[in-house]
Amino acid sequence: MELIKITEQNGQGAVSARELHLFLEIETRFNDWIKRMFEYGFSENADYQVLLKNEYNPNGGRPETDYALSIDCAKEISMIQRSEKGKQARQYFIECEKKLKTQAPRSFSAALKLAYESQLKIEEQQKQLEYQKPLVIFAEALQISEHSILIGELSKILKQNNIDTGQNRMFEWLRGNGYLMKYGEMRNQPTQKAMDLGLFEVKTRTINNPDGSVRVTKTTKVTPKGQQYFVNKFLSIQRKSA
């Protein structure tokens, strides 16, 4: 059953932001809501594209603006809502992604494009592996913890290897580069991209206050895989700037 229509945008699955807004039953005006959603760290032309839905607006004024969201972006926005509709939409997008991955190209030109893009991706991965090979060997020699660690501890590991980025700057960099959420209750929690890469885990703790109320805290920790990933990332940045 098609809950929300998925179209094709530049060869990728895309979702209308207005249709998602309608499905999620958001009471906030669309323009205000989508602006707030994009503040969570989504990037134009990577996570969404601006569309003019109608060149002529019958009500007068400017043409109505819509946005083509990538399925990943739509999935993450659905999760942010923390509602039953949001959960339903997120699960729907996960199932759609699975189906899209197993679908064959619809035409010969689409097949050629897919083959070309796959070849480019393989070549780029090979170049990246060759470029990072000495960095990976060096990073593997570092004292990477077998357990998840706090982000502040990761900055200490980096500092031991002449990469001086304190805890606050580390948080700022992670938010600015799309690994952690930027705003609201989800601030400093992993983005969907980071979770899919296995870079973080979130530890939840329940605290009983003296007045009888219950407080839930969430702490973002860097997994061993994430430690390796970010050490390589910062070594690569340092190497390029040298």
Confidence tier at 112 by pLDDT (50, 70, 90)? low
Whether residues 237 and 146 fall in one domain? yes
Tokens of 181: 């959420």
Whether residues 98 and 183 fall in one domain? no
Whether residues 150 and 83 fall in one domain? no
Whether residues 149 and 97 fall in one domain? no
**What is the 3-class SS of 179-239, one letter each residue?**
CECCCHHHCCCECHHHHHCCCEEEEEEEEECCCCCEEEEEEEEECHHHHHHHHHHHHHHHH
Phi, psi (rounded to 5 degrees) for 94:
-60, -45
- Decide if 57 is inside a domain: yes
Section 123-150 average pLDDT: 61
Whether residues 149 and 237 fall in one domain? yes
Q: How far does Cα 122 stand from its chain's mean position?
A: 22
Whether residues 30 and 89 fall in one domain? yes
Question: What's the domain range around 227?
Answer: 142-241
- Decide if 115 is inside a domain: no
Confidence tier at 137 by pLDDT (50, 70, 90)? very low
Whether residues 146 and 237 fall in one domain? yes
Whole-model pTM: value is: 0.46
- Decide if 1 is inside a domain: no
pLDDT (0 to 100) of residue 141: 45
Whether residues 93 and 157 fall in one domain? no
Neighbours of 157 (CB within 10 A): 19
**Three-class SS state of 178:** coil
Whether residues 86 and 146 fall in one domain? no
Q: Which of 102, 132, 166 is the last residue before a domain boundary?
A: 102
